[in-house]
Structure 1
């Protein structure tokens, strides 16, 4: 297409690749909104579900932990479950980005924008 223009042909190819990468990253961002992870605390007594983007979607609390004297324990368990879900969301997001980087032939440690 731009064969006789020297470096401009390479530049056009790079621009096309950049556009493809941008499209794939945008698609992945949308996909991360649909992937869910679940964090737990208290041996599963409290579960927090979040998207791979880190948005909290659900909280499941076993009724057996509700006792007026244990208010602080319950609060700690809820917070721990949310933090666990957020950590798992971050980990899953990074896994998906690594997969995309590998598919595109980019270095595995390259950080794509989010």
Structure 2
């Protein structure tokens, strides 16, 4: 029974670290950009878009499709950075233990 009690303590500690990490992810901002910085997107650590910044030089009706493409590219850039940050956090939290493929925490 001693091993079971120790394992339960470890599970509880991991749950507490997960709660802390989720709180930290809500407060973390990751910026992505495209078009040489003409379009910038900021996401929180969970991947939700927080803000978009578009250089005024792009705000011409004939460049609508370009702006849309740049927003999508900036979002992809920020999302990739957020996922890399999350992977690093998970690695440090799990002590380097690899999670099964497709197993993503906390989302």
> TM-score, normalised on structure 2?
0.89
1:58 positional shift = 0.8
Correspondence list, 1:65-104, <5 A: 65-102=58-95
What is the alpha-carbon distance in structure 1 between the residues aligned to residue 84 and residue 105 of structure 2?
15
> Structure 1 runs of 4+ off > 2 angstroms?
110-113
What is the alpha-carbon distance in structure 1 between the residues aligned to residue 26 and residue 58 of structure 2?
31
Please tell me whether residue 57 in structure 1 is matched to residue 50 in structure 2. Answer: yes
Q: Give ranges in structure 2 of 5+ residues lacking alignment.
A: none
RMSD, aligned α-carbons: 1.4
Q: Give ranges in structure 1 of 5+ residues lacking alignment.
A: 1-7
> TM-score, normalised on structure 1?
0.83
Equivalent pairs, count: 103
Please tell me whether residue 113 in structure 1 is matched to residue 97 in structure 2. Answer: no
Larger radius of gyration: 1
